[in-house]
Structure 1
Amino acid sequence: MNRIVLTLLVVALSFLLGVAALSLWQSHRQEQRVQEEATILLERVRNVMKLVTVEGDVSEIFHTTSSRNVTLYLPLPSQFSFDKKATVEVRGTVLVGYDLEQLDVSLDPDRRVMTIRNLPEPEILAIDHDLVYRNLDESWFNTFSAEDYSRLNRRAKERLHDAALKSELMARAREQGNSVIAGIAYLAGAAGYELVVEEGTPLPEPAG
């Protein structure tokens, strides 16, 4: 009897060790795959000089319909139209600010003047968005392809971009940019320098 119990224990232990080994092996493979993906993403990193002054959350639901005409012989040629429709909800965060790559700042110690040149206008710096497909309705001769999903993704980002341009984000980004310039003017004045912004860009009054 004891021998039977011992045999069962050995079999159960062997089974559990096998399951544990299989789990560790699968986990190791999955970790390796994630690490490879992270390496690919790191190749996209590059140096930038951008100042984000405003971010806004934008959401929209839009509908799109695509038709395809197909000629069927029944037995005479007859043309039919097959539609595919999509209802997509797009949610995103829009970052608005300034690209400072061309900004030039110079100091004239003799005249005690700090000059800012090439002050840019606010622009949309980045859009981080997600898609939720609320409805996909396709027909037998007109189905959704990988290219269709890519097109919907591009169109969703374009709609967020257009919505951001029509919103108050650009005006608020400009206000924040003026506040930054005003702060620089205040610090320059405290150091005994006059701040000059060239190219006709209005200089806001320093905060008093």
Structure 2
Amino acid sequence: MSRILLTLLVAVLAFFLGIAAFSAWQSRQQDQLVHEEATLLLERVRNVMKLVTVEGDVSELFSSTSSRNVTLYLPLPSKFSFNKKATVEVRGTVLVGYDLEQLDISIDPDRRTLTVRNLPEPEILAIDHELIYRDLNESWFNTFSAEDYSRLNQRAKERLRDEALSSELMARAREQGNSVLEGIAYLARSAGYELVVEPAEATPSG
């Protein structure tokens, strides 16, 4: 009877030791995973210096048609034109702001000035879009391929970019950028400094 009890105690002890070892191993794996994610996040933050000042939602419906000429022998050579047409709705969010990679900020304690150089112009920083295929018409000798879908996707992104550039988003982004500078100037004055903004140097043509 004592042997059976001893066997049960050993089995129970081994079971709990196994659970403890597995929990410790899993905890080490989780700690390592969190550390790797934190390192990756730090690299992304360090490599990106962009200020988004305006976000705009854009949508558009457009059509794209292409033709393919095929010669069929029936029995004489005859040329036929086969068309394919896609009607696509594109929706997207356009982020407009400033790329601060070349921005230079210096402080002169003697003159009590805070100088900002190479202030960039607002630009489109990112476009997040999706495509909704409203209608796809294709012919027997002219069907849609993977390259066609990639081209439609690229064309949709270009149309969103063109529409954003012709809209008021750029002007509003510049206004928001000026507001940011006014905020920096206020903080500088509060610390007894004067904000000096030097225009970006013109790029020589040719």
SS of the aligned residue for 2:96 comes to: strand
Matched residues in 1 for 2:71 and 2:159: separation?
34
Matched residues in 1 for 2:200 and 2:129: separation?
36
Map of 1:131 onto structure 2: 131
Alpha-carbon offset, residue 200 of structure 1 = 6.8
Give the aligned residue type for 1:55: E
Give the aligned residue type for 1:120: P
Identity of aligned residues (%): 82
SS of the aligned residue for 1:75 comes to: coil
Gaps of 5+ in 2: 1-36, 202-206
CA displacement, residues 11-45 of structure 1 (integer Å, 9 cap, x when unaligned): xxxxxxxxxxxxxxxxxxxxxxxxxxxx9xx89x7
Superposed counterparts of 1:32-181, under 5 Å: 46=44, 47-181=47-181
Matched residues in 2 for 1:93 and 1:112: separation?
41
TM-score calculated relative to the size of structure 2: 0.75
Matched residues in 1 for 2:200 and 2:94: separation?
28
Matched residues in 1 for 2:77 and 2:106: separation?
75
CA displacement, residues 34-83 of structure 1 (integer Å, 9 cap, x when unaligned): xxxxx9xx89x742000000000000000010000000111111111000
Alpha-carbon offset, residue 108 of structure 1 = 0.3
Runs of 4+ aligned structure 1 residues displaced above 3 Å come to none
Matched residues in 2 for 1:199 and 1:122: separation?
14
SS of the aligned residue for 1:192 comes to: coil
Alpha-carbon offset, residue 145 of structure 1 = 0.2
Gaps of 5+ in 1: 1-38, 202-208
Matched residues in 1 for 2:80 and 2:104: separation?
62
Matched residues in 1 for 2:118 and 2:71: separation?
59
TM-score calculated relative to the size of structure 1: 0.74
Give the aligned residue type for 2:157: K
CA displacement, residues 107-160 of structure 1 (integer Å, 9 cap, x when unaligned): 000000110000000000000000000000000000000000000000000000
Matched residues in 2 for 1:77 and 1:109: separation?
85
Matched residues in 2 for 1:107 and 1:145: separation?
57
* Number of aligned residue pairs: 160
- Alpha-carbon RMSD across the aligned residues, in angstroms, is 1.8
